[in-house]
Chains A and B, each alone.
Chain A
Amino acid sequence: SQKIEQNSEALNIQEGKTATLTCNYTNYSPAYLQWYRQDPGRGPVFLLLIRENEKEKRKERLKVTFDTTLKQSLFHITASQPADSATYLCALDNNAGNMLTFGGGTRLMVKP
C-alpha cells in the first residue's frame, strides 16, 4: 500500500543548529514533492517544491533534497530560530497525478 512516513516524534534542537526532517515514501512515483509549515490552529503554508529531476532546492535558510532511489526527501533549516518552531508536512502527488497526499508531519521545537 502507499505510505508517507514522517517522524511522529517531536524534534528538539538548540537555536543556531541545523534542523533536518525526513520524509520517506513507499509505492509512490511522485513527479513533485512539497513541504509545508503549519502553526497550531492555522492552515499549512507552502514552503518549497522539488521536482523528481532535481536533487536539491534552496530558499534562504531552507534546503530540500529529493532522492528518488532512496524514496526520501530531507528538509533542512540552517541557523534555526525559535520562530521556526512549527509542524512541517511533506506532500507528494499520487501516481495518478491528480491530487496531493500529505504525511503526518513532524513537530520541530527550537529552544533559545
Chain B
Amino acid sequence: DGGITQSPKYLFRKEGQNVTLSCEQNLNHDAMYWYRQDPGQGLRLIYYSQIVNDFQKGDIAEGYSVSREKKESFPLTVTSAQKNPTAFYLCASSYRVREPQHFGDGTRLSIL
C-alpha cells in the first residue's frame, strides 16, 4: 500500500543534541512538507520541498534543517539551536504544492 512512513514514533533529545526525524513516501509525490503541531494548536509549516534537491523555508524554519536528495525521502534535523523542540512533528506529501496532502502518523519529540 502507498503511504508515508515516519520514524521513530517517539524520540527523546538531550540538551545540545541534534536529532533527525525520518520521512519516506512511496506515493511518487513531488512535493513534501514538515509541520510542527503543539498541543491544541494547528499545524505550522517548517520546510517544504517542491522537487528533489530543492527546499524552501516555511513559517518557523529557525533551528531546523532538511535535505531532499531522493524523491522518496525528506528527513528533518532538529538542531540544538531549536530551544523549544518538544512537539508533534508531521510529514506530508502531495503531487504538487497546494494539492491535497497525505500525512504520516507523526513523531513525538520530547526533551530529556
Task: Give every chain A residue within 8 A of B35 (Cβ-Cβ).
Answer: 102
Task: Give every chain A residue within 8 A of B90 (Cβ-Cβ).
Answer: 43-44
Q: Which of B3-46 contact A (CB under 8 A)?
A: 4, 33, 35, 40-45
Q: Are B101 and A41 in contact (CB under 8 A)?
A: no
B105 CB contact (under 8 Å) in A43, A46, A97, A98: A43
Q: Which secondary structure dominates chain B's binding surface? A: strand
Q: Are A31 and B106 in contact (CB under 8 A)?
A: no
A99 and B45 contact, Cβ closer than 8 Å, known pairs A31-B98, A34-B100, A49-B100: yes
A42 CB contact (under 8 Å) in B44, B48, B106: B106
Q: Are A45 and B42 in contact (CB under 8 A)?
A: no
Chain B 78-110, CB within 8 Å of chain A: the 1/0 string? 000000000000101000011011111110000
Task: Give every chain A residue within 8 A of B106 (Cβ-Cβ).
Answer: 41-43
Q: Which of A1-59 contact B (CB under 8 A)?
A: 4, 6, 8, 31-32, 34, 41-46, 49
Task: Give every chain B residue within 8 A of A100 (Cβ-Cβ).
Answer: 45, 97-98, 101
Q: Are B48 and A99 in contact (CB under 8 A)?
A: yes
CA of A17 to CA of B82, assembled, Å: 45
Q: How large is the interface on B (under 10, 10 to 19, 20 to 34, 35 or more residues)?
A: 20 to 34
Q: Are A98 and B97 in contact (CB under 8 A)?
A: yes
B42 CB contact (under 8 Å) in A31, A32, A43, A104: A104
A34 (CB) vs chain B CBs: closest residue:
B100
Task: Give every chain B residue within 8 A of A46 (Cβ-Cβ).
Answer: 100-102
Task: Give every chain B residue within 8 A of A105 (Cβ-Cβ).
Answer: 42
Q: Are A44 and B103 in contact (CB under 8 A)?
A: yes
A84 close to chain B: CB less than 8 A: no
User: Could you tell me the distance in whole angstroms from the C-beta of A3 to the nearest C-beta in chain B?
Assistant: 12
Chain A 76-112, CB within 8 Å of chain B: the 1/0 string? 0000000000000100010001111111110000000
Q: Are B98 and A97 in contact (CB under 8 A)?
A: yes
15 A-B contacts (beta carbon < 8 Å):
A34-B100, A41-B106, A42-B105, A43-B4, A43-B106, A44-B43, A46-B101, A46-B102, A98-B50, A99-B33, A99-B58, A100-B45, A100-B98, A102-B42, A104-B41
